[in-house]
Each structure stands twice: as C-alpha cells, then as structure tokens.
Structure 1
Amino acid sequence: MFVVTLTFSEQKARAGELMEGHKAWIQQGFNRGIFLMVGSLQPNRGGGILAHNVSREDLEAFVAEDPFVAGNVVVADILEITPARLDDRLGFLAA
C-alpha cells in the first residue's frame, strides 16, 4: 500500500492550465484499480492519494505521468506502507 503526497511547488499558479490533464490522470488511476482515494492536503497544500495493487516501480512511473508532476506544479513523494494491523473493512490491503 502506498501514500502519495503531491505538494505544491513554486509553480502552483500553473495548476489551472494543467487541471484537465491532471483530472484525466486521476481517472486513469481509478480505472486501472490503483487508486483507492484521492483528496486535498489542507490547507491548500496539494493532494494526497492512497494507492495499492501496483509495484513501487510501476507507481513511480505512473506518478511521473501526472501533468502536475511533469509540469513541476507539485513535488511527489511516495511512502510505502506494509500493513501490520487492519480493520476488517480494509482486509483486501493485506494481500
């Protein structure tokens, strides 16, 4: 399981021009079964993603395709978590 943070850079003002491509990239993540959740980092710091069902190498490559990452609007950081204890509702993450 992975937590991806997309923290705004000094190029934050370019977000508007790249937003449609960023939204399409997010939809691809859901369509491919990689993304579990996408949301905003508060207050207005960028975005956060919960991802699974992908290798770190493949996730790094996919994150690099995000127009926000490619356009230097955000800086991506990928944290890998090996679940040790889960609520029953999240049991699928243990696989």
Structure 2
Amino acid sequence: MFILSLTYVKSTEEADKHMEPHMAWVKEGYAKGWFLASGRKVPRTGGVLLAIGERAAIEAYVAADPFTIHGVAEYDITELAVTTTVKGLEILKR
C-alpha cells in the first residue's frame, strides 16, 4: 500500500484553478482500482490518497496529476507493508 501525501507549493487559490482536472484524475485513479481513500489535509495544505498497485505505475500516475504538471503540489510517496487490519480492510495488505 502507498500513502500519497501531497503538499501545496502554491496558494490554495492556485490549487482551486486546477481542482476540477485534479479531481478527474483522482476519479480515474479510483476507476483503475488504485485509489482506496482520499481527502484534504486539515488545515488545507494539500491532501492524502491511499493507493495500491505497483510503485512504478503509481509514480507515473502521480507525475500525470494536473497538480504535479502545473507545479501546484509536490508528492511524498510512502510505501507501507500493512500486516494487520480490522475486518473488511484486508485489501490494504496487497
């Protein structure tokens, strides 16, 4: 599993200009079966996505995020070897 933590490097106003294409990118990540959960950081300094899949594919996909392309946010990708979950979240062990 991967934790994709994005941090805005431009203003939230600039992020808002690219939010619609970014959200389309997020929805496509869900459609591909890679994204499991996502949301904004509080306070709003970026966001976090939980993802599964192959690291190279995830990294390439992150590079195609409109936020990345337009320099709005930078990503930190952390790989997590999940060993224990509550019932129903076994998919995280992939």
TM-aligned CA deviation for residue 11 of structure 1 = 5.0
Q: Which has the higher helix share?
A: 1
Verify the 8 A CA contact 2:82 2:92 in the aligned structure 1. Answer: yes
Greater Cα offset, 8-17 or 62-71? 8-17
Q: Once the two structures are superposed, what CA deviation does each residue of 1:4-43 show, in whole Å capped at 9, x if it has no partner?
A: 0110103543212211110110110011111111100110
Verify the 8 A CA contact 1:25 1:66 in the aligned structure 2. Answer: yes
Cα distance in 1, alignment partners of residues 51 and 56 from structure 2: 13
The runs of 5 or more residues in structure 2 that have no matched partner are: none
Verify the 8 A CA contact 1:11 1:72 in the aligned structure 2. Answer: no
Q: Aligned runs of 1:77-88 on 2, under 5 Å?
A: 77-88=76-87
Aligned partner of 1:66 in structure 2 is: 65
Structure 2-normalised TM-score? Answer: 0.91
The runs of 5 or more residues in structure 1 that have no matched partner are: none
Q: Percent identity?
A: 36
- Point out 4+ residue stretches in structure 1 off by more than 6 angstroms: none
The letter for the 2-side match of 1:87 is: V
| RMSD, matched Cα | 1.3
Cα distance in 2, alignment partners of residues 51 and 72 from structure 1: 22
Q: Aligned runs of 1:12-91 on 2, under 5 Å?
A: 12-52=12-52, 54-91=53-90
- Count of aligned pairs between the two proteins: 94
